[in-house]
Chain A
Amino acid sequence: MKKLLMVMALFLVALVTVGCSGKGPLTIWVGSESEAFYTQKMEEYKALYLEEKGEEFPHDIRVVGVDTGTAAGTFLDDSDAGADIFTAAHDNLGKLIAGASAVAPVQNQALLAQIQNDNPETFLQVIKGTVGGTEYTFAVPYVAQALVLYYNKQFITETQAQTWEGILEAAVANNKQALSLAGTDGFNNSFILLATEAETGNTSLRLYENGIQENTYGTGDDTIAKLKWGQYFFTHANGARRPSDSGWEVELKNEISIAFIGGAWHFSAAKAALGDDLAITILPTFELIDGYGEVEAGTVFQSGTFADTKAFFMKKNSRYAEYLEDILLFLTSKDVQEESFVAAQNLPAYKNAADEFAAFQENTLEAKLAAAQVRMFEFGIPQPFGFQTRYNTYYYSKGTPDLILEILENNGGNFGTDAQILAQMQIVETIWKTGNRPA
């Protein structure tokens, strides 16, 4: 009898499992900071739908705030249970379209035209991917992001903030730490690694150029020269430091450090830490003290950044597929992007935002943040990892950021010579290309 009961209960479990595949509301994942804004926008969308079609939108819509940094991974863990529309940084494209693609391509001509007309050329390249030999557009950009410099204007003047030398001078004068970083990953070292020669805008650094794994080069003369300067900056008594376990907010607030490199998502915390002393500008330049190879001492470099876009993706085979593109047409329209900037400080992906959006012209910190980001787009590249699922892993997860940090910190004098720096970068380059350390 007990076995009978066991079997009956197991069948019950199986039935419940089958029953779980019920129909839920149309779900949209957005960044937590924008949940309220997009919830309100979807109410407006429903009202517009009623006005245009003469009938109520036929389904419930639920907007959920999520961590956009992990949204793509969460979606892939169980895409059937994932949102119908979700937000992720463009560099997740590779893993989202791997195999037969977990996301649907954009096919609506009006939406494709809006993407084409409203977004900068750099974004158009990184939202496309190839599945089954055909290239499709998979994402709809709506937020842009680049790193900027947050600094304490009590210690650093506007002029000093234009160069790392000026910031270092201010740090020495006040016996402070020049710079705090938010993390040790490949995003945070980009201000050195992606720096370009100020006069020409050139760099020999190549990261998966045109989506090709082999088109990766991190051992050029200028790269080594930049890292040598980085080592000087990180080993200086008042220079930059890896993030402490207290966190960059504490370091800024307690005036341990006087500047911080961060994105728009750090704005609220930076403002809370520095209050009225907070100032924002583009990342500074630096001048090489030592040359390397054909790159001479005195060469000036402009700090670089990854200039990315957050985009909306659509779930493949969503049961609401017929509605999704129309919703995205609305959510990524110029007007909604402008409102999103005002309400949630989301830097629009709209290419002419700096000229056309009234909020950009105001004399507010938010406007300065936006303006600084827009300018940083001139010195940045979108993260080139969306072409293949493995690129992101190779760049961020196989330990190369730590190996670069080892060069910068030069602990134990292990990277005191040019040859040692070059050897370490050869390891880094191999990992970028293959995912493995050289044998």
Chain B
Amino acid sequence: MEQKIEKEDKKSGFLTRLLTFFKTLGLTIKTRCLKFYNRFKEGSTGTKLSHVIMGSGNIYHKQYLKGFVYLILQVGFFALFIISPEVNGTPLGLKSIVNFFTLGTEPGDIFNPADNSMLMLLFGVIVFGLIGMFLAAYNSNIKSSLKADNDIKAGKKPTSLKEDIASLLDERFHVALLTPAIIGIITFTVLPTIFMILIAFTNFDSEHQGQVLFNWVGFANFLDIFSGTGEISVRFLPVLSWTLIWAFFATSTNYIGGILLAILINKKGVKLKKMWRTIFILTIALPQFISLLAMRNLLSTYGPINSTLMSLGLTDAPIQFLANAANPWTARITIIVINIWIGVPYTMLMTSGILMNVPSELYEAAQIDGATKRQAFFNITIPYILFITTPYLITSFIGNITSFNVIYLLTGGAPGVPGYKAGETDLLVTWLYKLTIDESEYNIGSVIAIITFIITATATLLSYRRSKAYKEEDAFQ
């Protein structure tokens, strides 16, 4: 009964939140529209003009340079849109918007090229980005003119471009510094990510390349996960399960192993501490891919380890550590063990640093209260390490979900599953690599990338928001 009430409470809570969201959204839009209207109504002639011709407000207020920069921006933007210059035969401008929705209509012939759907999609994304930027500049132009109005009303002289630049290098220096970073993020992260996400809604695959147009297919690629007899539907859940198992064990073994090793090395009475640390750090000093390839060769069917085992008479036949088709867990466990060897030193190094910096007054207070060493360890040392390393733990888990090197270099996904690309040790990310690089199935690859992102983002958010490191941020300060 209580559970039922709790469920209903949750349901009504969700509905209320949803209603509040739309209400707030509506109010925000209304407020913005009113603000825009009032700005136009109350602004000077220059400000009114700047709603149509960018920079005219600034020119009206004799801020010529600033005004012309805005004007040039507007002219440039409209020129780009009207002229729509062709890049590699595909227009970039107003036509890009139409092309974004059609993804090309001209099938071409033997002497004339077909429309390039991929470039059309890309340019569509870029043009929408440009429109967004232009709208921001448009708003900035009105605000700039309005500020000049207000300055005049307040009996001050409107600021010149020179003064604006001086301000950017002084009290608004953070803006000058952050602007290139924001541009970089938009250009190199946001736009490519949007492009990648959109590919998941197309049929851009091995049969729609080169001079073949591709189209929008809605959620068909996502639905393929749940239906059909194709690779994506049959192998998705096994690969996802193994990915999560791998991420759990790879993270926990490294974490626990690293902490134990650090505690052991930092224990009073252990001699040659620096030497032990150096030995373990050697695996970090070597490029990881070299360590992994060396391990693969050592453990291969006819590699040195098997040769030694056989010559010692310990086995009759070579053990397939990394490719045992009969039992995929052999390869899986081997990979996790190798990963411990590679990953433990990182945690050890970090934990060593933490252990050396545990506030000594905590131990002193505990000692005064009569705590034993064991109690101090479990009630001070361990919570302190956990508190500090929680974000690392989460990052490490996410990193392991998308851990490409270890799997790709050690097994390449082997042992294989007859009939499918995704092998028994393939993670979502290595499977994604095979599907896109080897098979040109970009749409399916994109679907997997989106799902991987959803999993990692959800895991990060949930675990971090529930951690003490987040809830009690100041606990150890």
Contact = CB atoms under 8 A, between A and B. Distances in A.
Contacts of B126: 14, 17
B182 interface: yes
Given A7-B73, A7-B137, A131-B109, A244 B301 contact: yes
A3 B419 contact: no
6 contacts: A2-B179, A4-B70, A77-B440, A98-B210, A244-B301, A411-B326
Given A9-B180, A79-B210, A393-B207, A134 B326 contact: no
Instruction: From B69, B136, B206, name the one whose CB has the most chain A CB atoms within 10 angstroms.
Output: B206
A352 B411 CA distance: 45
Q: Which are the 4 A-B pairs with shortest beta-carbon distances? A: A100-B108, A399-B419, A99-B212, A102-B210
B134 interface: yes
A7 B206 CA distance: 37
Contact of A251 (B76, B229, B302): B302
Interface string B207-228: 1011111000000000000000
B133 A10 contact: yes
B229 A250 contact: no
Interface residues of B, number: 72
A32 to B, nearest CB: 18
Interface string B109-135: 111111010000000001001100110
B164 A6 contact: no
Interface of A: 1-11, 13-14, 17-18, 20-21, 73, 76-77, 79-80, 95-96, 98-102, 105, 131-132, 134, 136, 184, 244-247, 250-251, 254, 256, 316-317, 389-390, 393, 397-400, 402-403, 405-406, 411, 436-437, 439
Interface of B: 69-70, 73, 76-77, 80, 85, 87-89, 92, 107-114, 116, 126, 129-130, 133-134, 136-137, 139-140, 164, 168, 172, 175-176, 178-180, 182-183, 186-187, 206-207, 209-213, 229-231, 296, 300-303, 320, 322-323, 325-326, 411, 414, 416-421, 438-440
B118 to A, nearest CB: 8
A246 B139 contact: no
B137 A4 contact: yes
Contact of A3 (B137, B210, B326): B137
Contacts of B231: 399
A399 B419 CA distance: 3
Contact of A102 (B87, B137, B211, B419): B211
Chain B interface mostly: loop
Contacts of B440: 73, 76-77
Nearest to A10: B133
A397 B436 CA distance: 12
Nearest to B234: A437
B231 to A, nearest CB: 8
A1 B140 contact: yes
B113 A6 contact: no
Contacts of A402: 416-420
Given A14-B126, A405-B418, A134 B110 contact: yes
Contact of A14 (B73, B130, B179): B130
Nearest to B302: A246
A178 B205 CA distance: 40
Given A14-B130, A100-B109, A134-B110, A1 B175 contact: yes
Instruction: From B76, B107, B175, B301, name the one whose CB has the most chain A CB atoms within 10 angstroms.
Output: B301
